[in-house]
């Protein structure tokens, strides 16, 4: 997730950033899945995962909000370009 986020920040375009951020969101969600899976299968002892799970959920929310903001910005830019033509 961290490496993909770093790559997103190096995106050459806003579209590239949004695309790479979508991958970050998928990776973050996959982390949540695996933590929940390990919990459900009782492969983690109680108390060993709650903090990490909460952080993964918070990061996912942050990344989703960032993508939404970037998409709105791109949409406004595209609309402005259309209006100039």
Cα-based angle 22, 64, 58 (whole degrees, multiple of 5): 120
pTM: 0.83
30, pLDDT greater than 80: yes
For range 33-58, the mean pLDDT = 91
Q: Which DSSP string corresponds to 2-52?
A: HHHHHHHHT-SSHHHHHHHHHHHHHHHHHHHHHHHHHHHTT-S-TTSSHHH
User: Please, what is the average pLDDT of the chain?
Assistant: 91
Secondary structure class of 48 (helix, strand, coil): coil
């Amino acid at each position: 997730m961290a490496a993909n986020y770093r790559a997103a920040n190096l995106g050459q375009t806003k579209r590239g950033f949004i695309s790479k951020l979508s991958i970050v969101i998928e990776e973050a969600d996959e982390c949540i899945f695996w933590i929940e899976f390990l919990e459900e299968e009782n492969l983690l002892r109680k108390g060993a995962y709650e903090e990490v799970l909460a952080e993964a959920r918070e990061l996912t929310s942050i990344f989703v909000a960032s993508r939404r903001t970037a998409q709105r910005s791109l949409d406004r830019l595209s609309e402005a370009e259309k209006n100039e033509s």
